[in-house]
Amino acid sequence: MFETQKIYKTYEQIALRIREAIASGELKVGERLPPEAELARQFGVSRPTVREALKVLEALNVLESSTGPAGGTYVKELDYLGVADYLKDSLRLLLSVEVVTLEDLISAREAIEIPAVGQAALKRNQDDLHALLKTLEEGEAKDFDALISDLPFHRAIAVASKNQIFSLFMSSIHMTVQTLTRRYVMPEAKETSQAQHWKIYEAILNGNKEEAEVQMKEHLHFAYHEVYQQAIPRRESFKGTGLS
């Protein structure tokens, strides 16, 4: 039922294949997985290795275990954060083996965040405006990395768009970018980034869909060309990111 690929640590390969089986519908919510011994036989690994993979998936809220006569390991119904974590980990794995590059992630951000901000301009309510303003004010007050401080504002835009798919994909992409950027010293860009955030906020506040989309496009263009491409690896280059 499962196949492994020699890409990552063995237990991580197994965890990935189980998640893929769940995503494809081969394993369904509420279904019990085979016993550890059977999984070990199918994967051709030891039971401790299988057990480690199952622990990882339980930590991600993908699986849950129970004891008693009907005990075992079951596929758990994923919540919003569980799905985002799954997508994040999958993207990180693909990045590590150079299947997906940072340029791909930036293109994905453009495809998602530009229409999302347009929808936010049309559908935002007072709570959304308050949340956006709060992230801007916190960004002004704190002296931290511009890219990391960038994320709460963009997530608030996703919420304001009233589209759960936008929120889901933006959260997973942002978590992936956040993980990658910890590997680099990012150039100072807080002042410019914050100024662009204020322009996006004003367009959303005014309900101006076209202006919000234009400002977001310019902001993402700046983030890629003036921040990502100017980053310096903290220790060594990370292949496949376009930042080496």
Give the pLDDT of residue 239. Answer: 45
CA distance 173 to 225: 18
Per the structure block, which two tokens stand in for 33? 């997985």
3-state secondary structure 213-240: HHHHHHHHHHHHHHHHHHCEECCCCCCC
At 32-54, the pLDDT tens digits run 999 999 999 999 999 999 999 99
Confidence band of 242 (pLDDT split at 50, 70, 90): very low
Higher-confidence residue of 18 and 181: namely: 18
Can you list the positions of beta strands (E) in 1-131? 63-66, 72-75
Check residues 190 and 203 and name the one with the higher pLDDT: 203
Q: What percentage of the chain carries pLDDT values higher than 90?
A: 38
Q: Span 75-86, mean pLDDT?
A: 68
Residue 65 or 233, more confident: 65
Instruction: Place 3 in a pLDDT band, splitting at 50, 70 and 90.
Output: very low
Using pLDDT thresholds of 50, 70 and 90, give the confidence band for residue 86.
low
**The residue type at 140:** E
How confident is the model over 171-188, as a mean pLDDT? 68
- Beta-bridge partners for 184: 233
Is pLDDT at 243 greater than 50 in this prediction?
no
The residue that leads in pLDDT, 236 or 212, is 212
In terms of pTM, does the model score above 0.85?
no
How does the average pLDDT of the chain come out, rounded? 80
Which are the contacts of 48, defined by CB distance < 8 A and separation ≥ 6?
Answer: none
Q: What pLDDT sits at residue 182?
A: 66
75, two tokens: 């596929």
Q: Which residue has the higher pLDDT, 147 or 83?
A: 83
Go through the domains of the chain in sequence order and give each one's CATH number: 10-75 (1.10.10.10), 81-233 (1.20.120.530)
What is the C-alpha to C-alpha distance for residues 22 and 182, in angstroms, rounded to an integer?
Answer: 30
**Angstrom distance (rounded) from CA 212 to CA 53:** 44
Give the residue-averaged pLDDT of 102-131: 91
pLDDT of the residue at 117: 97
pLDDT at 218 > cutoff 60: yes
Listing DSSP states for 10-28 in one string gives HHHHHHHHHHHHHHHTSS-
What local confidence, expressed as pLDDT, does residue 97 receive?
54
